[in-house]
Amino acid sequence: MAAGNDTTSVEYIQHHLQNLTFGLHPQNGWSIAHGQEEAREMGFWALHLDTLGWSIAMGVLFLLLFRRVAVRASSGVPHGLQNVVESIVEFVDRTVNESFHGKNTLIAPLALTVFVWIFLMNSLKLIPVDFLPGLFAKMGVDYMKVVPTTDVNATMGMALGVFFLIIFYSIKVKGVGGFARELSFTPFNHWALIPFNLLLEIIGLVVKPLSLGLRLFGNMFAGEVIFILIALLPFWIQWALNVPWAIFHILVVTLQAFVFMVLTIVYLSLAHEKH
């Protein structure tokens, strides 16, 4: 859907921010929502098909690219895609060694997956905002929100996955009693202050997934809105603004993937520490 004379600016923006939603409608049963009102009426029983589809597609692309390099890797001087992949792996491995102080063979592969997967999902933002939605519109798909990380459901889903790992390893490494004592006697090691300590520590635990998910969502969503607003301008001025913003956003795309990865490593490192 491109901005045109038959579409107001508000309708254009709302259209681009509307997910392809499939869910249980109170009156129509299981169906695809036509507009934001129907999507809201579906409530909890709804799936954002575009978010799921593009997330899975970027995950598959990540696996295919890295598997191809692994199968065709040579012992000589790396070049092309192998050089890029090896550079990413070395960068992630160095970051894990600097930030993670426990012993867990899962952390490095998890960090690599988080960084590359989020980077690929964020990179979809660099595709012109009307290109893929317009392509799907010709195939009869009215709504197509392409960038998964502009959907708070996706970013909070990843953040909750990290949160469950934090709880799992906190209990595994310290034991139920050790984890409970850590929550009860940190930061003040006195039995009279246990309620105050629990309040502080539980708030700290809850803030971790919120900060992970909302930071990524906020930055990606804000950038997407800017791209949409630029697309509303006359064609002759769009490129003058779109190209510099896209070049700047290459940094944002990479930085947000890096921040999510580093915070994941740091949180899991804290979960492995015994006090």
Helix (H, G, I), strand (E, B) or coil at 23: strand
Q: What is the pLDDT of residues 18-41, one digit of tens each?
A: 999 998 887 878 888 888 888 888
Q: How many residues does the chain have?
A: 275
Predicted confidence at residue 234, as pLDDT, reads: 83
Nearest to 261 by CA among 62, 58, 72, 99: 99
Predicted confidence at residue 35, as pLDDT, reads: 80
Q: Distance between CA 153 and CA 20 in Å, rounded?
A: 13
Ranges of residues in the chain whose predicted pLDDT is under 70: 1-6, 77-78, 275
Residue carrying structure tokens 């930055």? 219
Q: Distance between CA 221 and CA 211 in Å, rounded?
A: 15
What DSSP state is assigned to residue 30? E
Could you tell me whether strands 46-48 and 21-25 are parallel, antiparallel, or unpaired per DSSP bridges? antiparallel
Predicted confidence at residue 2, as pLDDT, reads: 46
Tell whether pTM > 0.85: yes
Predicted confidence at residue 36, as pLDDT, reads: 83
Helix (H, G, I), strand (E, B) or coil at 33: coil
Predicted confidence at residue 275, as pLDDT, reads: 61
Residues taking part in catalysis? 211, 215, 219
Predicted confidence at residue 221, as pLDDT, reads: 94
Nearest to 55 by CA among 115, 112, 120: 120
